[in-house]
Amino acid sequence: MAKSAWNFIDGKWQTSSSGEIFESRNPADQRDVIGNYPESNQADVEKAVQAAEAAYTDWRLVPPPKRADIILKASRILLERKETIARLMTREMGKVLKEARGDVQEAIDMAQYVAGEGRRLFGQTTTSELRNKFAMTVRMPIGICGLITPWNFPVAIPSWKILPALICGNTVVFKPAEDTPACAVEFVKALEDAGLPRGVVNMIHGGVIAGEAIVHHPKIRLVSFTGSSEVGRKVASQCGKNLKRCSLEMGGKNAQIVMEDADLELALEGALWGAFGTSGQRCTATSRIYVHQKLYDRFRRTLVERAKKLVLGNGIKAGVDVGPVINGEQLKRIHHYVEIGVREGAKLECGGRILKSKGLERGFFYEPTIFTQVKPEMTIMREEIFGPVTCIMPIKNFDQAIQEVNRTDYGLSSSIYTHDIDRAMKAIRDIEAGITYINGPTIGAEVHLPFGGVKCTGNGHREAGETALDIFSEWKSVFIDYSGKLQKAQIDAD
């Protein structure tokens, strides 16, 4: 087995018990094999859980500033290796190099932010209703966390989960997406090289079998999942049966509003980046655009012109705007949605084709695609496509825009372009989403702010920011009675 074909359990790189492997290949050129990775099963998860359980005994007692030292060291290692990891990411996941650098940078930012928590992890001190009694809250670790991630942010998303879990004193069984195992290895190596004690983070490669084994394992007290709503529902129901803590970050159908007073150029730039950045494979991608009727024609015409000019290709090459999509299955899925859009009566303004022209024939390239003449009930306006496809619809006024934006099962990100402060404030208040941008695209998270969504996008948690700590710790209320006598709350009154 090639060296890349290793899980990381109890501080050792090792093969899976099944002996089976899967390949990771470059989505821009399928001839390019990145490596072989183990198809893990229940037995591997069991080993990882045992290692995490043994490591937990001490890790929970390591002072958080010492945990932070390791995380900070990992951030420096990631910074040193940023270019190498970014290039690997472009090769393995397909996003263009400057976006891959941003992905690694996000993990560095997260490590720095989380390391600061080592000297905070604040609780509260408060009053007691009884004399000579002290009350406070402290954060406690949960135990072993099962962390399951998607492929679209192959370093950033693992960092969003693993690092807050670690600073809170938990140990981890991590299963990265099967499309991006090499990137996950690089992230875990940075933690290993930073001196993380063995067993604190264990990584299991594989797909559904390994994922399900994590979700079902009785000793894993928390599952944090990012991925599709379809799988998220399964994860949540299994966790529900076992009364296991579960945090979910799932899909989006994010909308941008462009009002008649908007800076048109800015709104166009934002839409182009929001819809076609990362080939539309961001949970926050702009897949619906509502434009005031006064600007609609100009906006539509210009966005279509610019989408047609986007350069598709291998993201490692300078000058490429849009890379491939992740795999053949996803390529077919995107095209299937486009066909449904046409069948349901939407007008295809540009794109709509799988590209096989010279230089693209060995990869999974989909033309940036724009639909108009769309109706709210159309499939392409309701379901997450997760590809370079967006829809533009004219709106008459602000109230209609808000109504349309909210007409979705999802609620991750949203944006409005306007110079009217009243409208901006009303949009912040009335849009049902976890994130609202004013005069910016629907994409652009920063690690120190909570990230997540409402409705079917999530189940009430927020990653990143201080709120990530609420996912990965349990509150304990502590009472210290120094009266020397039995005092009864609610009963003894002075």
Judged by CB under 6 A, the residue of 234, 353, 362, 407 near ligand NAD is: 234
CA–CA separation, 51 vs 41, rounded Å?
16
Residue 38 or 252 having the CB closest to ligand NAD = 252
Residue 118 or 323 having the CB closest to ligand NAD = 323
Among residues 365, 322, 368, 370, the alpha carbon closest in space to that of 342 is found at 370
Residue 342, both tokens: 């046409």
Judged by CB under 6 A, the residue of 11, 116, 197, 207 near ligand NAD is: 207
Residue 52 or 72 having the CB closest to ligand NAD = 52
Judged by CB under 6 A, the residue of 48, 191, 194, 250 near ligand NAD is: 250
- Using the rule CB under 6 A, is 208 a contact of ligand NAD? yes
Contacting residues for 150 by C-beta, under 8 A, at least 6 apart: 157, 177, 226, 227, 228
Residue 153, both tokens: 């942010």
Could you confirm whether 249 is annotated as catalytic?
yes
In the set 178, 186, 192, 249, the catalytic residue is 249
Distance of CA 34 to the CA centre of its chain: 23
Contacting residues for 222 by C-beta, under 8 A, at least 6 apart: 142, 143, 144, 145, 146, 170, 244, 245, 246, 247, 471, 472
Select the residue whose beta carbon is closest to ligand NAD and give its number.
211
- Using the rule CB under 6 A, is 178 a contact of ligand NAD? yes
Residue 19, both tokens: 């002996």
Residue 390: which H helix or E strand, with range? strand 389-395
- Using the rule CB under 6 A, is 249 a contact of ligand NAD? yes
Integer angstrom CA distances of residue 230 from 132, 276, 312, 386:
53, 24, 30, 14
Start-to-end Cα distance in the chain: 74
Q: How far is the CB of 260 from ligand NAD (least distance, A)?
A: 31
- Part in contact with ligand NAD (CB under 6 A); list of ranges 8-16, 120-128, 165-173, 205-213: 205-213
Judged by CB under 6 A, the residue of 337, 386, 437, 472 near ligand NAD is: 386
- Using the rule CB under 6 A, is 42 a contact of ligand NAD? no
What would the DSSP string read from start to end of 241-281?
Answer: HTT-EEEEE----EEEEE-TTS-HHHHHHHHHHHHHGGGG-
Judged by CB under 6 A, the residue of 273, 384, 417, 465 near ligand NAD is: 384
Per-residue binding string, ligand NAD, 400-429, x by CB under 6 A, is ------------x-----------------
Distance of CA 340 to the CA centre of its chain: 27
Judged by CB under 6 A, the residue of 6, 8, 151, 296 near ligand NAD is: 151
Residue numbers at the binding site for ligand NAD (CB under 6 A): 148-153, 175, 177-178, 207-208, 211-212, 215, 226-228, 231, 234-235, 249-252, 283, 384, 386, 412, 457
Q: Which residues are marked as active site?
A: 249, 283
